[in-house]
Structure 1
Amino acid sequence: MSTLDPSTLHQLYSEHNSWLKGWLRVRLGNAADASDLAQDTFVRVMTARHTTPIREPRGYLSAIARSLLIDKSRRRAIEQAYLQALALRPEPVEVSPEVRLSIIEMLVSIDTLLDELGTRTREIFLAVQLEGLNYVAAGERFGVSVTTVKNHLVRAMTQCLLLVET
């Protein structure tokens, strides 16, 4: 597996960058964000491993861009939820831009981790960790045994530990 050679990447960029920016501008509503996301798309292409030639460049580019759009939307939603939570605190909280960025990045990582757990594991993990359910109560709520609850929690905690290690 290898990355695209520079001449192929240059040709892909020259032939499809304007089209991609237009495609993104329609979805985002402004040229600046479209340019940024188009650039991010080509960075992904540049760093991706390619085993075969790209046969449908616009389909390939739009799939990457669509994924980046989803990531951007999720990040924006997480950031808004964080800011709302700060606003609801009884005492004002001042957070430096660096700390805020770090917190948002960690929240995005946690959101991604939770999304990758699978529905049942995520629900059990959140019920135990956030709602304080014990294993028996979680088992009753989800109609599973205590052993199954423990297995789901081991899976979730393992993923959490992997996130902390990275």
Structure 2
Amino acid sequence: MSQPSSILENLYVHHHGWLQGWLRRRLGNGADAADLAHDTFVRLISGRTQRRFDSVAEARAYLRTTAQHLCINLWRRREIEQAWLETLAAMPAAHHPSAERQAMVLQALEEVTAMLGQLPPKAARAFTLAVICDMTDDEVGLALGVSGRMVRKYVAQAMLGCLTLRAQQTMRELTSEPAG
């Protein structure tokens, strides 16, 4: 067997099995563990620079942190999917959107959730209360302990995030359409 020719290959050879085992214990599922171990190394490979680690402990800490973030994303995505399935179960089958439309809704929900996760917690909460719970600025302000003016600022911040997502979606659609 030849020796690893790159830092990444060496990292993979020496740590992939350990990482997959760590993920299997964390997730209780071998298939998910294999997927996330793979995704962890894909993230490392797709990085702009090759990382060098001074010790096995440093390499494993980096891999474990990256894998932990992927676990959180997986759990968040599954929560969103479960909420969507519950919503579908509550409506008559005749009103269910097509499979393609359902996939689009799930993707949009995941993107909005990720966008809200990047906002300050009060801004994300203000947006959720104002838009989803249909609360007034004063009601949201009371719940968050801020003024109605601050609520409007928070909601505007989240709306800007939503508009950015919409613009990105439009660009994806425009670039994926075949030339006519």
Structure 2 unpaired stretches of 5+: 169-180
Please report how far the alpha carbon of residue 113 of structure 1 lies from its aligned counterpart in structure 2 after TM superposition: 1.5
Aligned partner letter, 1:114:
L
Match of 1:41 in 2: 40
> Counterpart in 1 of 2:153?
151
Q: 1:49 to 1:86 in 2, by over 3 A?
A: same
Which aligned pairs between 1:11-160 and structure 2 lie closer than 5 A? Answer: 11-50=10-49, 53-55=52-54, 56-89=58-91, 91-92=92-93, 93-160=95-162
Partner of 2:166: 164
Counterpart of 1:105, as a letter, is Q
Shift of 1:47: 1.0
- Per-residue CA deviation, residues 70-116 of structure 1 (Å, 9 max, x unaligned), is 10011001100100011112x21444433322221111111111222
Identity of aligned residues (%): 38
Question: 4+ residue stretches of structure 1 with deviation over 6 A?
Answer: none
Q: Deviation of residue 30 (structure 1)?
A: 2.7
User: RCO (CA 8 Å, sep 6+): is it higher in 1 or 2?
Assistant: 1
Contact between 2:126 and 2:155, CA under 8 Å: does it hold in 1? yes
Query: Aligned-pair distance for 1:52?
Result: 5.2
Q: Could you tell me how far 1:140 is from its partner in structure 2?
A: 4.6
Q: CA deviation at 1:144?
A: 3.4
Q: How many residues align?
A: 160
Segment drifting more, 119-128 vs 55-64: 119-128
TM-fit CA distance, 1:132: 2.7
Task: Please identify, of 119-128 and 40-49, the stretch whose mean Cα deviation from structure 2 is larger.
Answer: 119-128
TM-score norm. by structure 1 comes to: 0.84
Residue range with higher mean Cα deviation, 153-162 or 39-48: 153-162
Measure the CA separation in 1 of the matches of 2:29 and 2:146.
Answer: 49
Aligned to 2:173: none
Counterpart amino acid of 1:65?
Answer: A
C-alpha distance after superposition, 1:125-151 (max 9, x if no partner): 222212333334444554433332222
Q: Distance in 2 between matches of 1:142 and 1:27?
A: 34
Q: 1:141, 1:77 → 2: CA distance?
A: 25
Give the drift of 1:160: 1.3
